[in-house]
């Protein structure tokens, strides 16, 4: 568990905590992987239809434009 201090740095704690500012501590670890796959049919259908997984497609260029001053 961790909270953020005034500078934005992580302050790690050993248990769930609410800070003086009212912020709740967050988990420092990612969520566990669930082997109970809820929608394998969709991924299999896409794989059969296109012959490739969406994660294997080349990345698209970003369309963000930045204004020059």
List, for residues 41-64, the tens digit of each pLDDT value. Answer: 877 787 788 777 667 777 777 666
Q: Is residue 42 a part of any domain in this protein?
A: no
Q: Is residue 26 a part of any domain in this protein?
A: yes
Report how far apart, in Å, the C-alpha atoms of 18 and of each of 21, 22, 28, 32, 60 are.
8, 6, 15, 24, 41
Q: Is residue 1 a part of any domain in this protein?
A: yes
Report pLDDT for 31.
67
Tokens 């809820």 correspond to 38
DSSP for 11-44?
Answer: EE-SS--B-TTSPBPB-SSPPPPPSS-S-HHHHH
State which residues form the domain around 10.
1-30
List, for residues 8-22, the tens digit of each pLDDT value. Answer: 888 888 777 777 777
Give the total number of structural domains in the chain.
1
Do residues 25 and 11 touch, judged by C-beta distance below 8 A? no
Q: Is residue 60 a part of any domain in this protein?
A: no
Give the residue among 57, 55, 53, 35 at the shortest CA–CA distance from 43. 53
């Amino acid at each position: 568990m961790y909270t953020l201090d005034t500078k934005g740095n992580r302050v790690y704690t050993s248990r769930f905590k609410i800070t003086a500012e009212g912020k709740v501590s967050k988990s420092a670890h990612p969520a566990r992987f669930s082997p109970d796959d809820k929608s394998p049919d969709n991924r299999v259908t896409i794989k059969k239809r296109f012959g490739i997984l969406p994660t294997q497609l080349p990345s698209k260029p970003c369309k963000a434009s930045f204004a020059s001053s």
